[in-house]
Amino acid sequence: MIERHETRKVMVGDVPIGGGAAIPVQSMTTTKTHDIKATLKEVDRLEAADCQIIRITVPDEKAAKALPEIKKHMTVPLVADIHFNYRMALEAVDAGADKIRINPGNIGGKARVKEVLEKVKGANLPIRIGVNAGSLERDLIEKYGYPTAEAMVESARRHIDICKEHDFEDIIVSLKASDVNLMIDAYRLFAKEFDYPTHLGVTEAGPTKAGSIKSAVGLGTLLKEGIGDTIRVSLTDDPVEEVHCGYEILKSLGLATKGVTVVACPTCGRLEVDLFKIAGDMEERFKKVKTPMSVALMGCAVNGPGEAEHTDLGIAFGKGAGHLYYKGENIGKVSEEAAMEKLEEMISDYEKEVAEEGEES
């Protein structure tokens, strides 16, 4: 059981962040916001993947004017991403955004900061202060020589102090870096001083394979230490992949139960079936399953039966065929050719059973 770092709770729409609440998975649309049709299409795909909070950029007036129509069709909270232009923050609040991502120190003089914070506070919305190692204030780079964890936390402190001056403390903070060690050090240092909830992420993590690994190391390390209240995996890929990767990280630490947790052979010379093909063919099917379940796909008789007995569903293969397991019970055999069809059938049966149990309770 992971002991979570104690943070205050902040509400983003109807989703709690911090205060010991479950850790939401976020992502961000990649479309031009003013293209409402394209943006909503991506929003629909993210919602179908169970993305719990969606961030949308609001760089200009065209994007701001599109926001009300987009928000009207969304079923999850909308975060308006604002940089520099304080007017876009004001318009995003009027458009119905559930959170504003903005750095108070980057939007101009004290009058503008006051206007934005009063507007956000009046609408009972939180903000996310987003510190990024690649865009630290010039004087901090001069002071520390290069981006350091101390410089990032000092930047966050500046923005927090501005908010506190205006009696505003509905704050979530991120301290992102593309360097995994720097990102980990910054969040650890921040957690020692503050109790504001944190949004974890390795920024510009890269293409899917490398980015998923970097994110798993960075986010996983901090989450295991109890640090982090919401996550976004930043990949150079379809944002839906960010959501899938985020859930896999949480599931690996027992912090989420959504969908299928796969137990599969690393493969070796003992394989008697084409487990690569079987696992690959099932991957898309697994992504569509929302009922929590564990599934074992094992390729030989050495570890297969033992692993399959301890999962909800499983197939432990031997030469050209495999033993089927349902809730730990061996229920028969299946040929390699029929394995995928049978596994799909078992998944459907399990989903129905869980649904019926839920209705009865």
25-52 per-position pLDDT tens digit: 999 999 999 999 999 999 999 999 999 9
Cα dihedral angle (210, 213, 214, 219), rounded to 10 degrees?
150
What tens digit of pLDDT does each residue of 153-209 get?
999 999 999 999 999 999 999 999 999 999 999 999 999 999 999 999 999 888 899
Look at residue 356 in the predicted model and tell me its pLDDT: 86
320 vs 222, more confident: 222
pLDDT range class, residue 106, cuts 50, 70, 90: confident
String of b and e for 295-327 (b: at least 16 CB within 10 Å)?
bbbbbbbebbbebbbebbbbbbbbeebbbbbbe
CATH assignment, 260-360: 3.30.413.10
Average pLDDT of 143-148?
A: 95
Residues in contact with 100: Cβ distance below 8 Å, sequence separation at least 6, in sequence order: 79, 80, 82, 89, 92, 93, 116, 120, 125, 126, 127, 128
What tens digit of pLDDT does each residue of 318-355 get?
777 888 999 989 999 988 888 888 888 999 999 999 88
* Long-range CB pairs of 107-116, under 8 A, 24+ apart, other chains included: 107/82, 112/86, 113/86, 113/162, 113/166, 114/166, 115/86, 115/90, 116/86, 116/89, 116/90
pLDDT range class, residue 303, cuts 50, 70, 90: low
Residue 12 has pLDDT above 90, yes or no: yes
Average pLDDT of 249-266?
A: 85
98 vs 113, more confident: 98
Which superfamily is assigned to 10-252 in CATH? Dihydropteroate synthase-like (3.20.20.20)
- Domain limits of the chain? 10-252, 260-360
Look at residue 180 in the predicted model and tell me its pLDDT: 97
Structure tokens at 112: 């503008």
Rounded Cα distance between 305 and 17, Å, is 40
Question: pTM, whole model, 2 decimals?
Answer: 0.88
Residue 279 has pLDDT above 80, yes or no: no
* φ and ψ of 244, to 5 deg: -60, -45
- Quote the mean pLDDT of the chain: 91
Share of the chain above pLDDT 90, in %: 66
9 vs 262, more confident: 9
Look at residue 268 in the predicted model and tell me its pLDDT: 65
Query: Residues in the chain, how many?
Result: 361
Q: Burial of 266 by CB count in 10 Å (0-12 exposed, 13-18 middle, 19+ buried)?
A: exposed
Look at residue 270 in the predicted model and tell me its pLDDT: 63
Residues in contact with 241: Cβ distance below 8 Å, sequence separation at least 6, in sequence order: 208, 235
Average pLDDT of 4-15?
A: 97
Question: 3-state secondary structure string, the chain?
Answer: CCCCCCCCCEEECCEEECCCCCCCEEEECCCCCCCHHHHHHHHHHHHHCCCCEEEEECCCHHHHHHHHHHHHHCCCCEEEECCCCHHHHHHHHHHCCCEEECCHHHCCCHHHHHHHHHHHHHCCCCEEEEEEHHHCCHHHHHHHCCCCHHHHHHHHHHHHHHHHHCCCCCEEEEEEECCHHHHHHHHHHHHHHCCCCEEECECCCCCHHHHHHHHHHHHHHHHHCCCCCEEECCCCCCHHHHHHHHHHHHHHCCCCCCCEEEEECCCCCCCCCCHHHHHHHHHHHHHCCCCCEEEEEECCCCCHHHHHHCCCEEEEECCCEEEEEECCEEEEEEECCCHHHHHHHHHHHHHHHHHHHHHHC
Look at residue 111 in the predicted model and tell me its pLDDT: 85
Rounded Cα distance between 194 and 346, Å, is 47
Residue 288 has pLDDT above 90, yes or no: no
Rounded Cα distance between 78 and 98, Å, is 5
What tens digit of pLDDT does each residue of 61-88 get?
999 999 999 999 999 999 999 988 899 9
